[in-house]
Amino acid sequence: MTVDEKFMKRAIANAKRAASRGEVPVGAVIVKDGEVISVGSNMRERGMDALLHAEIIAIRRACRKLGRWRLSDCDLYVTLEPCAMCAGAAINSRLRRVVFGAYDSKAGSLGTVIDLNKLGYNHLLEVEGGVLEKECAALLSDFFKELRKR
């Protein structure tokens, strides 16, 4: 198992926790020096807040833990390609790297629908997509199949 797969597995565990609460199963972890320093999972339904995406929660927690807003020595692992808001937050927090699992054909903003990383902002992320893609995509498709049954 690669390092990227190891941390994506942690993000998947967070996505599963989100699903168990009735949230869209997206999970995130932020890693610094090979250690997980923060986690997040979707909480939009529970928090009644459109901003409570897994990535935003993980970024906020990492900033609080480190006592700074610049996360240039940190990497974000997330089960779904970030949307525009989350890709923007990754850029603005100066994350070193974003690694995601499933591509998002409806809102993916690091290459699929648009690539915010290529628009000339003052920070450029390293981006790796498709890590444990099948497992990450299956979480989402299974969740929505169950939702449609209800």
The dihedral built from the CA positions of residue 17, 79, 140 and 10, taken in this order, carries a sign that is negative
Among 15, 13, 22, 20, residue whose Cα is nearest residue 80: 15
Give the separation between CA 87 and CA 84, rounded to whole angstroms. 5
Which positions are catalytic?
A: 55
Alpha helices by DSSP H, 50-83: 54-66
Calculate the dihedral angle through the C-alpha atoms of 93, 99, 103, 107, rounding to the nearest 10 degrees: 0
